[in-house]
Amino acid sequence: MSRRRFVYDDKAGKLVEITNSRAAQTARDAGALWGDRHYDGMRATDGTDISTRTRHRAYMKANNVTTADDFSSSWEKSRESREKYYTGGGSFRKEDIHRAIHQLTSRR
């Protein structure tokens, strides 16, 4: 006895058996992560067409902008100092804040 496989068909509203004759339907954007299809129809916030990788790079160079992934190494480097600040306390203590609030309210 062979195994049978089923998938839920949204259009039909029921389980449908997968057979060799039934070809798998791929999504329109399949492969977008490893291709350049995600650039299709892409526009910058000012309306400039950046629908290809070359246009996108040229736009970023001309406007002196970059993507967030360029900062991943600097964020990683500063992570240790952020953790030290949050766990060990920063340059301000609760008492400092209370004293500043008291000084501001006593000026009136």
Q: Which two tokens stand for residue 14?
A: 């029921």
Task: Indicate the domain borders of the chain.
Answer: 5-71+81-106
pLDDT of residue 80: 82
Q: What sign does the dihedral 45-50-53-59 (CA atoms) show?
A: negative
Task: Compute φ and ψ for 4, nearest 5 degrees.
Answer: -120, 145
What dihedral angle (degrees, nearest 10) is formed by the CA atoms of 31, 33, 38, 39? -120
Task: Spell out the per-residue pLDDT of the chain, length 108, in tens.
Answer: 678 888 888 888 899 888 766 555 555 555 555 677 788 889 999 999 999 989 999 999 999 998 888 887 888 788 888 888 777 766 777 888 898 999 999 886
